[in-house]
Structure 1
């Protein structure tokens, strides 16, 4: 049975890959492995080495710590205010992709606006 941390890291790899619109094949080529290995990482069937995780973080343009966000100290997923499968929702995924397509300075302003609107809702 896969370790909960390996499963969590795999989910974070998959979610980030989806957000960037990258295929398993593209990520595999970026880090120099076969796409089947990406599949195994994403399901938690295989543990990702530190150096491979570093390469993936670079390819996916995130800090390595991104893959561990949402993990509780006991190695299990911590509670969040969002459903765990939010990225599986096509509308949410399209919204996030569109958000990251906006230039950073405008994106921050949009984020600030969204935060204000959510506080008054």
Structure 2
């Protein structure tokens, strides 16, 4: 006797059809949505409001628990200021989603905090400091001594 789809779903206990289950690609897209949201300094609640879904649904999208329709992904891309393809960057058929490194996490936090600074002079000061520190690091790697003022004047 053949089993029905409903019987199969009941045995699995999740009520989700196999073709609708989230996979590695869904998790990758979700993590890229979260990454971009954080870069822009938005909360999940803010993103949810902007795309017309509940906070819980936005959370499920970011965790890769629910699949995102093409139309919804296009809307999310517009809200986050990127092309749809941005969400797929770094995805390969063989790779599984992995945790972001501490350095990537720090970069995301830095971008998020920078976006929250309202004062343009403070943003420029922070940007100048980052350029000076980067120039010092590059010079040190090349074995050249650079004074912080000289690195700052280069820009």
Tell me the TM-score normalized by structure 1.
Answer: 0.70
Correspondence for 2:37: 17
SS in 1 for 2:57: helix
- The 2-side partners of 1:87 and 1:24 are apart by 22
In the alignment, structure 2 segments of 5+ residues that lack a partner are 1-20, 118-122, 142-155
The one of 96, 118, 121 aligned to 2:111? 96
**Alignment root-mean-square deviation, CA:** 3.4
In the alignment, structure 1 segments of 5+ residues that lack a partner are none
Which structure would you say has the larger RCO, counting Cα contacts within 8 Å and 6 or more residues apart?
1
SS in 1 for 2:50: helix
The one of 75, 82, 95 aligned to 1:76? 95
- The 2-side partners of 1:18 and 1:58 are apart by 15
- The 2-side partners of 1:47 and 1:77 are apart by 17
| CA deviation string 1:56-115 (max 9, x = no partner) | 01111111111001001x163589xxx7234763x423433438x769xx9xxx6xxx59
Q: Go from structure 1 to structure 2 and tell me whether the alpha carbon gap of 1:3 and 1:29 turns closer, same or farther (over 3 Å shift).
A: same
- The 1-side partners of 2:110 and 2:46 are apart by 22
Correspondence for 1:85: 101
Correspondence for 1:3: 23
Q: Go from structure 1 to structure 2 and tell me whether the alpha carbon gap of 1:119 and 1:27 turns closer, same or farther (over 3 Å shift).
A: farther
Kindly tell me the number of residue pairs found equivalent between the two proteins.
110
